[in-house]
Structure 1
Amino acid sequence: MTKNVERGRRGEEIAADYLEGVGYRILRRNWRCRQGEIDIVAAEGDAVVVVEVKTRYGHGAGHPLEAVTPAKLARLRLLAGAWLLENAEAAGRSIQIDVIGITLRPDGSHELLHFEQVSA
């Protein structure tokens, strides 16, 4: 497993634990289709939440949230639609896109920032 894959998996674990801790219910992790992948699909109230997780070691290459560009948000909207088409039980539920940025520190701790409803 490459260092990038390992870092991404660790970040997704941290994000999933955080989301469950604040009341989200995880529906799927690493859902894939031809257009790409959704890191986490969760439910919060009546909403289906598509969560993009970005994880970095430090801020040398910029804050993790800087990697979520307008093009990435457009792709997430496309992926959210594809997920809804494939999961009929979610029909009629609102959809939101959240982004979680995680910075891993050398001492094993981390910083987590969660931005809700970043794209309609």
Structure 2
Amino acid sequence: MTQSRTQRARSRSALPGAWAEQRAWRLLRQRGWRLLSSRWRCRWGELDLVVAKPGRLLLVEVKGRRRCGADGWGVAALGVVKRRRLARALNCWLAEHPEQAQHPLEVVCALVPLPPTGGAVRWLRLESLAAAQGDD
């Protein structure tokens, strides 16, 4: 079975994101985190990485960029709408993994420079997603 042009273009455009997620995951694994979910999807959105340490849960939104553009390496993509989608997706994930709901949750964004750009991954702590949910 062959892929359509749209499928090939979509898979090529997903490669930088997958590379950025793998780089972030390798760094987390080196620091003792255990992967619970990667690219987990529900109707509300996708969770890039959900990782855990004993008694701790970490949700990681990964933004990979080749250069610092108008969105500041991806920071501008983390607005209220994106945070609301993350909060809803996280609630769905927790419904499927109720044993994890008891652990303190931290939400971070990994800003990953893509090749050929060099540099370290920058980690930003995001404010509580509960505040982002609000009423629609």
Which bin holds the TM-score, normalised by the shorter protein?
0.7 to 0.9
Gaps of 5+ in 1: none
Q: Deviations along 1:50-92, whole A, 9 cap, x unmatched?
A: 1100101111343222221122112211111111111122131
CA distance change for structure 1 residues 77 and 119 in 2, over 3 Å: closer, same or farther?
Answer: farther
For residues 29 and 109 of structure 2, the distance between their equivalents in structure 1, rounded to whole angstroms, comes to 15
RMSD: 1.8
State the 4+ residue runs in structure 1 displaced beyond 6 angstroms. none
Gaps of 5+ in 2: 1-7, 129-136
Q: How many residues align?
A: 118
**Pick aligned residue for 2:16 from 7, 30, 53:** 7
Report if aligned partners of 1:50, 1:76 keep a CA contact under 8 Å in 2. Answer: no
Larger Rg: 2
Percent of paired sites with the same residue: 29
**Pick aligned residue for 2:116 from 79, 91, 106:** 106
More helix per residue: 2
**Pick aligned residue for 2:102 from 92, 96, 100:** 92
2:58 is equivalent to residue 58 of structure 1? no
Report if aligned partners of 1:58, 1:105 keep a CA contact under 8 Å in 2. Answer: no
For residues 120 and 101 of structure 2, the distance between their equivalents in structure 1, rounded to whole angstroms, comes to 35
TM-score of the superposed pair, with normalisation by structure 1: 0.86
For residues 24 and 66 of structure 1, the distance between their equivalents in structure 2, rounded to whole angstroms, comes to 27
In the other structure, the counterpart of 1:78 is 88
Please tell me the residue identity of whatever aligns with 2:123: H
**Pick aligned residue for 2:37 from 24, 28, 34:** 28
More strand per residue: 1
